[in-house]
Chains A and B, each alone.
Chain A
Amino acid sequence: MSDLKEELDRALRTVTVGEAPVERAKRAGRRIRARRRVTLLAGVLAVAAVAAGYPALAGGAAAPPAPLTGRPAQAPSPRPSDMAVRAGPAPATTQAPGGLASKTGEIAAGSVGDMGWRVAVVPPGQKNPVPADSCYTITIVVGGDIQGPCYDLPAALGHGLGAAKPAAFTEFLNDGVTATTVGEAAADVTYFIVNFTDGQQLKLLPVTVAGHRYIAWMAPLPMGIDSVVAHLGGPYSDSGQTATAVPFNGPDGPSVFGLWQGAGEAAPPRDTQVIGAGTTDGHAWKVTAYEGPWGTCFVTDAAGPVGARCVASPKLGTTAILGWGDVSPVERGFGSAAPGVAAVRITLSNGKTVTAHPVGVGNQDLFAFPTGKGVTPAGWTAYDAAGRPVGAGTTTQGSAAR
Chain B
Amino acid sequence: MSTGPDEEFGAFMRGRWPAMVRLGYALTGDVGHAEDLAQAAFARAYASWGRVRRAGDPDAYVRRIVINEHRGRFRKHRVAEELRGDLGDAAGGQQEHQALDDRRALLDALRALGPRQRAVVVLRYWLDLSEAETAAALNCSVGTVKSQASRALATLRKSAGLRDADIADIVEGGQR
Contacts and interface: CB of A to CB of B under 8 A. Distances in A.
B46 interface: yes
A126 interface: no
B107 A11 contact: yes
A12 B25 contact: yes
Nearest to A3: B166
A39 interface: no
Contact of A25 (B43, B161, B167): B43
Interface in A28-42: 28-33, 36
B139 to A, nearest CB: 13
A18 B31 CA distance: 10
A220 B5 CA distance: 14
Interface in B160-176: 161-163, 165-167, 169-170, 173-174
A25 B42 CA distance: 6
Interface footprint category on A: 35 or more
The majority secondary structure among interface residues of chain B is helix
Contact of A7 (B4, B103, B128, B174): B103
B166 A7 contact: yes
A8 B86 CA distance: 15
Contacts of A30: 46-47
Interface string A165-184: 00000000000110000000
Interface in B20-54: 21-22, 25-26, 31, 34-35, 39-40, 42-51, 54
Contacts of B61: none
Nearest to B43: A28
A163 interface: no
A222 B13 contact: no
Contacts of A36: 47
A385 B134 CA distance: 49
Given A2-B174, A7-B103, A21-B39, A26 B46 contact: yes
Given A14-B104, A22-B9, 8 more contacts: A3-B170, A4-B170, A7-B162, A12-B107, A14-B90, A17-B31, A19-B17, A32-B44
5 contacts: A2-B166, A2-B174, A8-B26, A26-B46, A29-B49
